[in-house]
Amino acid sequence: MSHNPYLSYYLNTMDIKFWVRRRLPELPPSELSLENPVTPTAATHPIETNELLSPTSQTPSPLLAESVQPETLMSPNFPPTQRNSALSPEHFRVQAWQELQQQVATCTACELYQTRTRPVFGTGNRRAQWMFVGEAPGADEDVQGEPFVGRAGKLLTNMLLAIDLPREIAYIANILKCRPPGNRNPQPHEVKCCTPFLTRQIELVQPKVIVALGAVAARFLLDTETEIGKLRGKRFEYQNTGIPLIATYHPAYLLRNPVAKSKSWQDLQLACQMIRDSSAG
């Protein structure tokens, strides 16, 4: 058996100092908690590298993306003429993504288009089970046109790997598609102008769980002014869609406050449970 040599590094990134069993046939779910870390034994095995990285593994993790039937991808908002067309639903789905991306690329709906280097549309698997939503592009994202590529992005990548989720398996987007100058907080009118793009992305991806990263994302997705510390650690539902939503701290906050990593770890475990529940259901 080949062992993944990197998993302990990813767990250390999250300040998690113990191994967690990947398969626990002899333990009830109640024992799978941070309070009951599993001591490494012969029965505790690290995740194999190919299990961790390959979405096409013959025994894929239930946390990884699953194939979605084309008929489930058709939005009810598509015009009936398109739904009845001889062209496949997949054709219209691809077209919808292209149109949305083009709309963002040429958007001048708020003043941020004047100072952006490039818009940051979103990245990852457009049929993902997991969708992560952050706040807005930073300096690195503004240059590269991709969300979460700076230090906070590297931490997010490692956080996801710690739960056996390569980031390309997930879909990652932001509330705002253009960088606010100086990384200031998004203004309410900017959020109002930009969030229809995110709403459409969620509609197209149809994730099994949404993880809001930070207060700005959590407050918009949950339509609340409650502070992030009181939102995290709980299961919400995204706008009566049945999609579970978990709020947690933004990775940039975790860089400034490493002590909060353990809470983010717990939040990710809760999101994992949402995925398992959806697979079981």
Interaction of residue 146 with ligand SF4, rule CB under 6 A: no
Across the beta sheet with 209-213, what order do the strands follow? 123-124, 171-174, 130-134, 209-213, 244-248, 236-237
192-251 binders of ligand SF4 (CB under 6 A): 193-194
Nearer to ligand SF4, 89 or 138 (CB): 138
Nearer to ligand SF4, 112 or 173 (CB): 112
Cβ atoms within 10 Å of 281's Cβ, excluding its own: 5
Nearer to ligand SF4, 116 or 232 (CB): 116
Interaction of residue 169 with ligand SF4, rule CB under 6 A: no
Stretch that binds ligand SF4, among 91-99, 173-181, 232-240, 244-252 (CB under 6 A): 173-181
Residue type at position 223: D
209-213 and 171-174 strand pairing: unpaired
Contact with ligand SF4 (CB under 6 A): which of 142, 190, 198, 271? 190
Give CA separation, 267 vs 15, 62, 172, 264, 280, in Å. Answer: 14, 18, 17, 5, 20
Which among 12, 109, 202, 141 is positioned nearest to 212, based on CA atoms?
A: 202
CB 212 within 8 A of CB 247: yes
85-144 binders of ligand SF4 (CB under 6 A): 104, 107-110, 112-113, 119
Interaction of residue 178 with ligand SF4, rule CB under 6 A: yes
Q: How far is the CB of 143 from ligand SF4 (least distance, A)?
A: 15
Stretch that binds ligand SF4, among 186-194, 200-208, 234-242, 263-271 (CB under 6 A): 186-194
CA–CA separation, 94 vs 154, rounded Å?
29
CB 118 within 8 A of CB 145: yes
Interaction of residue 177 with ligand SF4, rule CB under 6 A: yes
Q: Which residues bind ligand SF4 (CB under 6 A)?
A: 104, 107-110, 112-113, 119, 176-178, 190, 193-194
